[in-house]
Amino acid sequence: MIKDYFIIPWREIKRRRLRSWLTLIGVFIGIAAIVSLITLGQGLENAIEGQFQALGKDKLFISPKGGTFAGIGSSVVMTEDDLEVIKRTAGVKRATGLAYASSGYEFNEVVRFNFVSGISTEPDERALAGEAQTWKIAQGRNLEKGDRFKVILGYEYTQDTLFEKAVELGDTILINGREFKVIGFLEKIGSPPDDQSGLIPLDTFGEVFNREDEVGYIIVQTQPGDDPAVVAAEVNEELRKSRNLDEGEEDFTIQTPEQFAEAFGVVLDVIQIVLIGIAAISLFVGGIGIMNTMYTSVLQRTKEIGIMKALGAKNSQILYLFLIESGLYGLGGGLIGVILGIGFALLVELAFVVFLGPAFLSVEIDLLLVAGTLFFSFLIGCLSGLAPARSASKQKPVDSLRYE
């Protein structure tokens, strides 16, 4: 029986084409914004999750406190001694130290500034670093023990975008003014800073940047079966003691991939909530638009309401008719909004992949979100139309019939 009450509203919506579209636009803009924001937010979280999953849960990252990243800008210094202490800690399977610096790269008489990483040439330490940083050799060979002024360059260097000429194996490139021979290239990672980095031996790094024995960043792999959190606490103890610091005075931080992901997740959630809040306001305005359209509809159909009452329609039946009409506006706006919102999110994902690489965004169509949104928009429609519908239902048949 309820479906019988859909014909009249549906015909009415079709009759007033322009007005219906304008009303729908008011709704679907808000819905599209909300749907795309939620989907993109989820997509970002998925991508980050994926990255950290690949990293594995058995890794710890130790860096000096302060500064931006890997100790850059911090006054705290970690050294090879700290690395030794960590290696000896119970629960640590492997550990390796890396050093980072920002440096000029000169080739073909063009200078570019990018990151340089100093890494260990010990095979299993090198492997650990590679695992953690997703470095894979695409061309040439890896750094070996005994290498000094040799460099492995990121994927971007094989293109001509950086120096107007592609770099090839065997070429010489100046890093921080010193000559390095290119012995290998990495596979594309998908993020520009990574694809524009260079890897050199740690010892050479110390020489070139005047930071002998320094490490900016230590990666630890915990023993299989051990709880990384427990091992992290152990490492914290040992390192603190060896650096002669009191409890609570640690000048270094130990992080697990989970913590990274969590911290990122929190920031993302806050941003999402704010943006969704703004979109919700626009949705509220869309609801007001429906209310306005419905009041106009009720007024224009005053005579029709009178006729229907003469034909035996109860007040409640008139109410349903108009409530369904406004609900349909909500639902229609919701449907269009969902399609546009998801479409937009997919487009953004495409742009990300094309310009930045696949690492950053992994959009997923959440059916629960779609269903929830459709239901919610129908509800908003009904709520917005409630006052006008009540006004319609309360009209006196005699007055309505007389209306021209």
Partner 1 sequence: MAGKKTVIELRDVRKTYQIGEVSLEVLKGVNIKIDQGDFAVIIGPSGSGKSTLMNQVGILDVPTSGAIFLEGKDISKMEESQLAQLRGRKIGFIFQQFNLIPTLTALENVTLPTIFQNVSEEKRVQKAKDLLAKVGLADRMHHKPTELSGGQQQRVAIARALVNDPDIILADEPTGNLDSTSGQQVMDLLATLHGQGGKTIILITHDIELVRYAKKIIYLKDGEVVKVKHNGVEK
- Identify which of residues 7 and 266 has a Cβ nearer to partner 1 in the complex: 7
Residue 27's closest CA among 324, 376, 286, 373?
286
Is the Cβ–Cβ distance between 80 and 215 less than 8 Å?
Answer: yes
The single residue listed with the structure tokens 């920002």 is: 102
The reply to whether 312 sits near partner 1 by the rule CB under 8 A is: yes
**Residues 291 to 310 in contact with partner 1, rule: CB under 8 A:** 303-304, 307-310
Number of Cβ atoms within 10 Å of the Cβ of 52? 19
Of the candidates 85, 92, 101, 313, which one interacts with partner 1 according to CB under 8 A? 313
* Min separation Cβ 377 and partner 1, Å: 24
Q: Which region, judged by CB under 8 A, interacts with partner 1, from 4-12, 108-116, 193-201, 243-251?
A: 4-12
Sign of CA dihedral 143, 144, 149, 150: negative
Q: Show the binding pattern over residues 317-356: x = contacts partner 1 (CB under 8 A), - = does not.
A: x---------------------------------------
The reply to whether 67 sits near partner 1 by the rule CB under 8 A is: no
- Identify which of residues 146 and 312 has a Cβ nearer to partner 1 in the complex: 312
| Token pair listed for 150 | 């040799």
How far apart, in whole angstroms, are the C-alpha atoms of residue 391 and residue 319?
Answer: 8
- Identify which of residues 10 and 375 has a Cβ nearer to partner 1 in the complex: 10
- At residue 215's C-alpha, the angle toward residues 212 and 218, to 5°, is 160
Size of the residue set binding partner 1 (CB under 8 A): 26
The reply to whether 273 sits near partner 1 by the rule CB under 8 A is: no
Of the candidates 11, 65, 88, 136, which one interacts with partner 1 according to CB under 8 A? 11
* Min separation Cβ 10 and partner 1, Å: 9
* Min separation Cβ 383 and partner 1, Å: 24
Residue 366's closest CA among 20, 13, 45?
45
The reply to whether 314 sits near partner 1 by the rule CB under 8 A is: yes
- Identify which of residues 286 and 306 has a Cβ nearer to partner 1 in the complex: 306
* Min separation Cβ 1 and partner 1, Å: 6
The reply to whether 192 sits near partner 1 by the rule CB under 8 A is: no
* Min separation Cβ 299 and partner 1, Å: 16
The reply to whether 88 sits near partner 1 by the rule CB under 8 A is: no
- Identify which of residues 173 and 319 has a Cβ nearer to partner 1 in the complex: 319
- Pairing outcome for strands 110-119 and 198-201: parallel
* Min separation Cβ 317 and partner 1, Å: 6
Phi and psi, residue 394, nearest 5°? -90, 0
Q: Show the binding pattern over residues 362-401: x = contacts partner 1 (CB under 8 A), - = does not.
A: ----------------------------------xxx--x
The reply to whether 7 sits near partner 1 by the rule CB under 8 A is: yes
* Min separation Cβ 12 and partner 1, Å: 6
Interface residues toward partner 1, by CB under 8 A: 1, 4-5, 7-8, 11-12, 14-15, 303-304, 307-317, 396-398, 401
